Amino acid sequence: MPITDSFSSFETGLTGPICGGFDITPDDASDLLTMTRAIMVSGAGDLNVLLKDGDTLVVPGLTPGVIYPLRVVRVLSTGTTATGLKGLL
């Protein structure tokens, strides 16, 4: 039996619910395959990211389980201490 999606006729946007996700492995040289609309971590720490506008930013002291609305192109391994990174779409 197929699952019912009561919201299939609604347009996806940044204010809507998360509809997908992927694991992130920090890498100083490679962009993510898909830009995030948010990031969540399972292990506390700092996150060093390249944002959509090209700025690099260290986001300090992330808390596990919190959804951070960051449009990220790359997560750098240098300066990232948070673990269990999830890209949310």
Segment 57-61 mean pLDDT? 98
Residues 4-27, buried b or exposed e (16+ Cβ, 10 A)? eeeeeeeeeeeeeeeeeeeebebe
pLDDT digits (tens, 9 = 90+) for 18-46: 889 999 999 999 999 999 999 999 999 99
Which pLDDT value is given to residue 8? Answer: 77
The overall average pLDDT reported for the chain is: 94
Pairwise CA distance, residues 85 & 76, whole Å: 12
pLDDT tens string 11-22: 777 778 888 999
Tokens found for residue 54: 């090209």
**What is the CB-side half-sphere exposure of residue 12 using CA atoms within 13 A?**
7
